[in-house]
Structure formats: structure tokens, C-alpha cells
Copies of this chain bind each other. A is one copy, B any other.
Amino acid sequence: MTEWLSDLKSGYCSRTWYLNEEFCCWEAEPGMCVDWHKWSNFAPFSFLFYTYFAVCSHPVGCLYSKVLFAFTSAFLVKSWAPYAAGSGISEIKCILAGFIMKGFLGARTLLLKSVGLPLAIASGLSVGKEGPSVHVAVCAGHVVSRYFRKFETNAGEMREIYSASCAAGVAVAFGSPIGGVLFSLEEMSPNFPQSTMWKSFFCALIATAVLSAINPFRTGQLVLFQVHYDRTWHSFEVIFFIIIGIFGGLYGAFVIKWNLRAQAFRKRYLSQYAIWEVVFLALLTAVVGYFNVFVRVDMTEALGSLFRECNGMKDFNGICNPSESWWVAISLFLAAIIRTFFIVISYGSKVPAGIFVPSMAVGATFGRFVGTLVDMMQRSYPQSSLFSACVSDISCITPGTYAFLGAAAALSGIMHITVSVVVIMFELTGALTYTLPCMIVLGVTKATYAYFEKGGIADRMIWFNGFPFLDNKEEHTFGIPVSHVMVRDVTYIPASGLKLKDVESLISQSTYRGFPIVSDRESRYLAGYIGKREIKFVIDRAKRSRPIDPNALCYFSLSDEPTLYDPSIEHFQIGTSSSSSLDFAKFIDPTPLTVHPRLPLETVMDFFKKLGPRVILVEEKGHLCGLVTVKDVLKYEFKVENAENPRDNTVVGEMERKLWDRTITFAKYMKAGWEGRRTTPDDRDSLELDEQIPLTL
């Protein structure tokens, strides 16, 4: 679709309207294609199309169509599906960790992201399709599976579907099924048991098989950029690989830092002008790209060309011409800088936009630059001891492999993943002989970014947006017990003594999703936990079956009979309930997760991450003394982090504090969504984060 849109700038296929120029002229001689009608040949329309769709024989002419595509994409997103903006990776990470964002995976997001994405890419912005593909895949998984009761009612099963969808999304975006599974494992999913791995594997397999059957690139294979390197690498090249690795780490650290600042600026000053900002970016990208061929060309095409070896291949803008080496090297270097700048200002704008392929393009450009320099050095000083491993008269350096390694380094640097990058790069190119150099480069990249930053761009976006998310990759050491963080003023329910009207006012006034049950108000022996939903269910059911006195007594105590363990809801009887009493025993969780107030906070975080409870009760000698949720932990963590890095409290820090407050405020708004009311958020800032129920439904 992107290619068709790009070619639509110049004409259309009269034989089959949906083909792009290449496929329309598939069997024709070059220059002899009769099926492709150029707009410029239509006398009556020529003026019109020259103005609007703009004949791309002159690059500036493309501006019109690019701007039009950018406008359309941003307008669609802004008007109907604000959640479709951006890549969606950060939000899906949060959803996979158990949070609820209503509508984020809905049919409308799916539809408009599918339409807006090709438009955004055809507009020439420095954005990729891989991140949004993951979002689209997860939307599809959600939309389809919610028709099945099994998944609708089981959040755990649903999250397995999401993990598998992530794998499928990456699998089709890169043509890399195993890479997709590993990406889902390494980056997206906080838990990845064997069963999820198998489901992801199967989902990626089917997705790739369908892609292969459709055969969209008409190459008959999944490998997007088939590369076959005749030469292998020499050990002296390792020093240059290390340079590329360091570049990858620096690139990641730089882009993450400045992109967050750009986003803070955007949130503060540009949120009213989202569409015009996108239009301006498209215009700027096109104009600047006019002066540098490596920025001008389509990123995917550029990647393929940069990876290639220079043996008899069609030349690509002179990169294989030794006499132009200096000029090419300078162009490549400038292209890497310019592209980085565009990524910083474009990622996060209000169109569907990923950062994978742009980063790979920067890495490949820089890598090719290094490769070209090394090649020039070797040609100039073939006798140098450094190049003693080279056989004279045979070209020794393969700049294409440097581009390949550069792409891997930049991708790893921005996302902070390693194993999946190696696999994706191999499935993308088939260059398996370069396993070892690739691993060396990624090792250096990892060491470099570990020195600078705290997480990949997705994690930093989560942090920036104030989403409640416990990062699995980070180690937390606070050295305090959980009692410092817990909520002490807990709203609890005594096992007996409450009247129906008390319970009703409690559940209508309180914003909590559930309540601990204690034996009595004095001793506060913990007796269990009950959800608000369950309380409502029992009351509604009782009211429907018989008239009930508002002063009826409510019992929340468990008897010790073994029938308690009987899970058969068929024989459900509301115990000894009558018009003057109500028994909630069947719906009490008798064994909520409890911890001692002195338990270190780190261990409690481990509980949240690994066991996924919605709430942990704090109990000492059987007495309830508090409760703790992920939010409480995160609030504390946030406080500590801000206290530690006061110098970060400039633009970003300030923005974040505001955003955090806003997230808390939005909890109320989100509640409305939870209660079933239809909500139409008019801006994605109003993400309906669930305040009370972290990690599991």
C-alpha cells in the first residue's frame, strides 16, 4: 500500500488499479511499460495532478503529495482514533503487565492505524512501520479473541494472545518469525512461560505462512534484504566493529534523551497543533532530503542497498564507485546526522510511527560510512601491517557488512535488546556468517548504553508518560521495609456487624476495587478479601430474589466447613441469607497474599512482578496493618528517583511531575470507563489508566 501510494504520485496502473509501478510493469521491458499511465500524459488532468499529486520527475514536486498524505494521516488519527498515534509499544508493554487501557486495542484503532500507517510512511517522514505493526497485530488479536468467552473472561489467556500477536506483528513486519517470538519474549512480555512461547511460535508461523502465500514482494521469499556476502571478515576488522558498537550505544542514548525533551516540548506547546506539526515535519523532511540522496530515498530501499556488496550489483548513488568515495562518505555521514535529527523530532508526533527502521537506517548509513572509510584506507595503504590479512588484488573490505552491523547496533541501542536483534538481522538478510561480528557489536553497544541510560526508548516512554509499570530489567534497591510505602489507612470490612445500607454506601462512595475483611474493628484479625464486584453481585442477586431490609446484617465470615472448597457454582445458595441477613461467604478470597510489614520493599516488588497480585495486604501477627499496590511502590520509586537526580528536574522532570498528577486525576475518569459507560477520549493524553487494579484483572 505504501509503494502504491508513493507511485500514485506519478501515475496509475490501467491494467489493475492496485498495482504499483514496479508490479504493473513486471513483465515489460524497461521504459516500454504501456500499462502505467503517468498523470503528466493526461492532458485534461495534467495541470490538476501536477499541482496536487505532483509529478515526481522533479523532487520538489513530491512535496505536495507528501504533505497531503501527512495531513490525511494526522487528520484521521486526531479525529477518530487518537490511540492510533505513535508506535504503541510502550502502552502494549503496560497492557501486557496487566493494566487496562480501554479502547487502546479496539476495532477503531485497528482500522485507522491500518489506514494511517501507509499514509504516514508514504509521506516520507522518518518513521517506520514495525512498531505500529505490533500495535495493529495486538488490536487484531484483541478484536478477534474477545468474541470468545474463554478469552473475554480470563485476563491471563488474553495476555497470552497479546504476546503471540506481538510475535506475529514483528514476524510479518520484518519477515522474521523467530525474531518476532524473541522480541515478544525479550522486550514486550513480563512473563513468558513455555506455553506462551509455543503460542507465539505458532502465531508467528501462521502469520509468516500467510505473508509468504500472498508473496507481496514477488521475490518468493521472506528474507526482505537478501544479502550474500562472498567474503568473510578478518580479525583486524574487530576494532572497527567496536567503533560501530559504540556508535549504536551513543545513538540510542542521544535519541532517547533528546526525543523525550522534544516530546515534553510537544506536550507543552504543540498539543493544539498536532496536525500542522505533522504537515510541517513532512515538508521539512522532504525539503532537507532534497539535498542528500541518502535521506531522500525510501528508508527500506536505502537499507537494502546499503547492505549490499559491491560486486556487479546495480550501483546505488555511487556507493560502489571508488572514485566517488570521499563524496559518498561525506554524504553518508551527513545523512546519519540529519536522519537522527528527524527521528528526534518526528517520533512521537501524532501519526502512526515506529522507530525501528529509521534507527536501522541511521545505523546502516553510519556503518556504511565507516566501511567506506576503512575501504579507502585499505586501498590507499595496502601494505600497512593492519591490513596484512588482506590478499592483494582482491578487494578486502566489504562496506555492506559494516552497514549491516551498524543497523543492528542502532536497533539494539534504541530498544535495548540484544538476542532478538541478532535473530531479526539474520532473518532479514540471511547473512549467517556474520553471527560473531554481530554479537561483538551488540556486546559493545550494550556496554555503551548501560553506561548512559536506564532503559530502552519504550521503557523511558512509559516512565515519561507516568504509566504504572514495574520494569523487569531494572534492579531496585531501596533498603526500606514495605511498611514505609504501604497505605495505612485501609478501608476494611468487619466480618459481621455491617448493615446492608452501610455496605451499599461503602461501595458507592469508595473508589477501591476490593476490601480486606477483618474479624472485628478492635483486633483487626485479617479474615479475607472481597472484591467490590462480588459484593454488588450478591446484593443485586439477593434483591432480585426477595425483598430485603436495608438494615439487614451482612456477614463476611467464613465457616470452617469443607464445603467451602467446593467450587461448583451450580449449587450456589446464599447460605443463611434471609430478609434480615446477607451472607457473602462464598465470594470471599480466604487467602489473600499477605506480607510482614518488615519485608523489604524489593521483595514485595518481586511478588508483584512474579506473582501478579492486584493488591498485597500487610499483616503482623494476623492483624491487618496496611495494603500496598503497584502504584504505591511506583509513587515511592518516583519520589526517590527525583530526589536522586535533582538536575534532571528541568523540562522533562517538571513535565513528568505534572503528568503523574494528571494520571492520578484521570483515575476518576477511568473509573467511569470501567463501570461500563461509553467514553470517547478526545486525546490520547487521557489514557484510561486503571488506578486501583494493577497487574491482573
Q: A436-B177, A591-B596 are in contact. Are A419 and B223 (CB under 8 A)?
A: no
Does A385 reach chain B (CB closer than 8 Å)? no
Determine if A443 and B202 form an interchain contact, defined as CB atoms under 8 angstroms apart: yes
Does A536 reach chain B (CB closer than 8 Å)? no
Q: A186-B197, A607-B611 are in contact. Are A433 and B436 (CB under 8 A)?
A: no
Determine if A205 and B419 form an interchain contact, defined as CB atoms under 8 angstroms apart: no
Measured in the bound complex, the distance between the Cα atoms of B607 and A208 in whole Å is 37
Residues of B within 8 A of A435 (CB): 177-178, 208, 222, 427
A residues neighboring B (CB under 8 Å): 177-178, 181-182, 185-186, 193-195, 197-198, 201-202, 204-205, 208-209, 212-213, 220-223, 232, 235, 418-419, 422-423, 426-427, 430, 432-433, 435-436, 439-440, 442-443, 446, 472-473, 475, 479-481, 525-526, 564-565, 567, 590-591, 594-596, 598-600, 603, 606-607, 610-611, 619-623
Q: A599: shortest Cβ distance to chain B, in Å? A: 4
Of B178, B430, B442, B473, which is within 8 A of A194 by CB?
A: B473
Name which residue of chain B comes closest to A439, CB basis. Answer: B205
Determine if A178 and B419 form an interchain contact, defined as CB atoms under 8 angstroms apart: yes
Q: Can you give 19 contacting A-B residue pairs, CB < 8 Å? A: A177-B435, A182-B182, A186-B194, A186-B197, A197-B418, A201-B442, A205-B440, A209-B440, A222-B436, A427-B432, A430-B432, A564-B598, A594-B594, A607-B611, A610-B610, A620-B622, A621-B622, A622-B622, A622-B623
Q: A612: shortest Cβ distance to chain B, in Å? A: 9
Instruction: State the copy count for this chain.
Output: 2
Determine if B212 and A621 form an interchain contact, defined as CB atoms under 8 angstroms apart: no
Name which residue of chain B comes closest to A208, CB basis. Answer: B436
Residues of B within 8 A of A208 (CB): 435-436, 439
Determine if B178 and A423 form an interchain contact, defined as CB atoms under 8 angstroms apart: yes
Residues of B within 8 A of A209 (CB): 436, 440
Q: A208-B439, A481-B565 are in contact. Are A525 and B590 (CB under 8 A)?
A: no
Apart from the given pairs A177-B436, A201-B418, A208-B439, 6 other A-B contacts in the complex at a CB distance below 8 Å: A177-B439, A197-B419, A205-B440, A479-B567, A564-B598, A594-B596
The DSSP consensus for interface residues of chain A is helix
Of B193, B475, B607, which is within 8 A of A472 by CB?
A: B193
Of B177, B433, B475, B591, which is within 8 A of A598 by CB?
A: B591
Determine if A432 and B426 form an interchain contact, defined as CB atoms under 8 angstroms apart: yes
Residues of B within 8 A of A220 (CB): 232
Name which residue of chain B comes closest to A238, CB basis. Answer: B209
Q: A193-B472, A432-B426, A607-B611 are in contact. Are A201 and B439 (CB under 8 A)?
A: yes
Determine if A433 and B433 form an interchain contact, defined as CB atoms under 8 angstroms apart: no
Q: A492: shortest Cβ distance to chain B, in Å? A: 16
Q: A391: shortest Cβ distance to chain B, in Å? A: 13
Q: A197-B419, A435-B177, A596-B591 are in contact. Are A443 and B205 (CB under 8 A)?
A: yes
